[in-house]
Amino acid sequence: MHEAKSPLRLGVNVDHVATLREARGTLYPDPLEAAKQCVQAGAEGITIHLREDRRHIQDDDVYRLHEALDVPLNLEMAHAPDIVRIALDVKPDEVCLVPERREELTTEGGLDVFRLKPVLRPVIHQLRETGILISLFIEPNDKQLEAAAELEVPYVELHTGTYCDSDNTHVDKELQRLIQGACMAHDLGLNVNAGHGINLDNIDEILSIPCLDTLNIGHSIISRAVMVGLEKAVREIKQAMLDYSQQKK
């Protein structure tokens, strides 16, 4: 049986608070203060992406957030040696391995776990040894899911970006791909997170994906926060998640 897990968790990605700070080289706005407000408003976890070009989150942010937060910190990162070194030092609760190209606007496509298996195996081993829970950010296809299961990671995060950005002609097919991917991940014994491009307009369809554990949402919440404030922006998403689960009962 492939049903939604309950309660579904919300992880808020606060990268773009740091984007605003880095735009001017100021000390504000502070992603840690933002993260605390998100938790206050109901976020069950906080996500940050330490990119190789340090365009938003800085090394010091990773240490500060891990030290100060009392909800799990999920660090998104490439498997580059200098970033892995920082993760091993900080020991965040969770690491989500993502692909990364410097010139991209945001993470494009999932990690090619199938091809990178030999490279990822020792990195995953090292991170796991310190007690970090590992997730792999992947496209919902059989080859990637099987490769993730072979690496014995506890989580995958399904890339919802293609679905969220797709036009009317492809939207049903993309949602079906996510639904089938989530069912297959569940059958392979993997916990299923989802993220990228989720907003108040598409969250109901995303919530129709079975077996979800956590939704990781960043850009739309921080954008909405500019208009209505961060706590309200987080509460709106939490309410949409709650309304969906009530309606399914």
Catalytic residue list: 49, 76, 196
Q: Which of 197, 233, 235, 241 binds ligand PXP (CB under 6 A)?
A: 197
Nearer CB in complex with ligand PXP: 158/247: 158
Q: Which of 21, 36, 49, 224 binds ligand PXP (CB under 6 A)?
A: 49
- Shortest Å, Cβ 160 to ligand PXP: 8
- Shortest Å, Cβ 48 to ligand PXP: 9
Nearer CB in complex with ligand PXP: 104/248: 104
Choose the binding region for ligand PXP from 24-32, 140-148, 210-218, 226-234 (rule: CB under 6 A).
210-218
- Shortest Å, Cβ 138 to ligand PXP: 10
Cα–Cα nearest to 157, from 67, 29, 49: 49
The half-sphere exposure of 133 on its side-chain side, counting CA atoms within 13 A, is: 13
Cα–Cα nearest to 7, from 244, 233, 217: 244
Choose the binding region for ligand PXP from 31-39, 112-120, 148-156, 196-204 (rule: CB under 6 A).
196-204
> Is residue 135 a contact partner of residue 87, using CB atoms and an 8 Å limit?
no
For the record, the structure tokens of 137 come out as: 């950010």
Rounded to the nearest angstrom, the gap between the alpha carbon of residue 89 and the centroid of all alpha carbons in its chain is 21
> Is residue 228 a contact partner of residue 209, using CB atoms and an 8 Å limit?
no
**110 forms part of the interface with ligand PXP (CB under 6 A):** no
Non-local CB neighbours of 117 within 8 Å, separated by 6+ positions = 147, 150, 151
DSSP lists the bridge partners of residue 4 as none
For the record, the structure tokens of 249 come out as: 């009962």
**157 forms part of the interface with ligand PXP (CB under 6 A):** yes
- Shortest Å, Cβ 206 to ligand PXP: 11
- Shortest Å, Cβ 109 to ligand PXP: 10
Number of residues that bind ligand PXP (CB under 6 A): 19
For the record, the structure tokens of 226 come out as: 């500019």
**218 forms part of the interface with ligand PXP (CB under 6 A):** yes
Choose the binding region for ligand PXP from 165-173, 189-197, 224-232, 237-245 (rule: CB under 6 A).
189-197
> Is residue 33 a contact partner of residue 6, using CB atoms and an 8 Å limit?
no
CA angle 60, 45, 15 (to 5 degrees): 45
Nearer CB in complex with ligand PXP: 37/162: 162
Cα–Cα nearest to 155, from 145, 163, 165: 145
Choose the binding region for ligand PXP from 113-121, 169-177, 193-201, 226-234 (rule: CB under 6 A).
193-201
The torsion angles phi and psi of 195, rounded to 5 degrees, stand at -170, 160
Contacting positions for ligand PXP (CB under 6 A): 13, 15, 49, 76, 96, 98, 106-107, 137, 157, 195-198, 216-220
